[in-house]
A = this chain, B = another copy of it.
Amino acid sequence: MKRLLLATLAAVGAMAALPAAAQFQKPEDAIKYRQSAFTVMGNHVGRIGAMASGRAPFDAKAAAESANIVATLASLPGTAFGPGTDKGMPNRAKPEIWSDAAKFKAANDKMIAEVAKLDAAAKSGSLDAIKAAMGAVGGSCKACHDDFRAEKYSN
């Protein structure tokens, strides 16, 4: 049993990036990770947005679950824009992410802060509070996309 456990742990461990500084072995891993986090976040922001705009019936429990998912993931993409992760697989990262890193960090921090407020609003169960928070979340998404996300994918 112990040997099986150790073998399983070794196999799982092999999936992780070895260097302590980087959680990603290849630029492709970082790109895939950040795109994946954004995909799940976008889906759940969309679900809350549908409720906030009246396109879907308000379900307080579902909204709170989605907001918790978005808040849990919000800080992840920003960890995966390390040097050299502009190429490796098709992605939409603009060069300004690295050439204007301070502005990019500010935009990322703003998103994280607004998502935290959305999470608190959703936990309160108030649709009006969710609507207000969603406006700011949507604004933070759009601002960062406008400045740092290209129209088309490049490799």
Do residues B134 and A8 form an inter-chain contact, with CB atoms below 8 A? yes
Instruction: Answer yes or no: A45 CB below 8 A from chain B CBs.
Output: yes
Instruction: Answer yes or no: A57 CB below 8 A from chain B CBs.
Output: yes
Q: Which one of B15, B42, B57 lies within 8 Å of A15 (CB-CB)?
A: B42
For chain A, give the interface size range: 35 or more
Instruction: Answer yes or no: A152 CB below 8 A from chain B CBs.
Output: no
Q: Which one of B6, B15, B45, B73 lies within 8 Å of A45 (CB-CB)?
A: B15
B-contacting residues, A43-92, CB 8 Å:
43, 45-50, 52-57, 68-69, 72-73, 76
Do residues A138 and B8 form an inter-chain contact, with CB atoms below 8 A? yes
Instruction: Answer yes or no: A126 CB below 8 A from chain B CBs.
Output: no
